[in-house]
Structure 1
């Protein structure tokens, strides 16, 4: 009789960023090793690809900056 192996559950795929319009531009970003580990951990925690996580974070930060600029005027 063969012993039962624990059946590993397959991890669900990471979320991808959804966009209403087609994505057309690439941006390259350089991180230190520590920054990369931080981003990797955060992206894994949200089950997102690193690209999706960085894109969403950049958009959120840009919207906040623009919002603050609008209040100053």
Structure 2
């Protein structure tokens, strides 16, 4: 079983892989977990399984011409 942090990272990774398959060039990766947004923006990821997932997300982000990764509070995301 994965924790909510890892689940959000996995969702981000899957969303990015889908955008790559669709050949999108500009993406906004919204996330309601500030911890995930900070991890994606951090220069280091660590060697844990979660760190490797974050590194995969960062690698995927390099596939796009423009990228934004804002933190969106849950109540705003539901509107």
Tell me, yes or no, whether TM beats 0.5.
Answer: no
Higher relative CO (Cα under 8 Å, sequence separation at least 6) belongs to 2
Q: Taking structure 1 as the reference length, what is the TM-score of the superposition?
A: 0.29
Over alpha carbons, which structure has the higher Rg? 1
Larger fraction in helix: 2
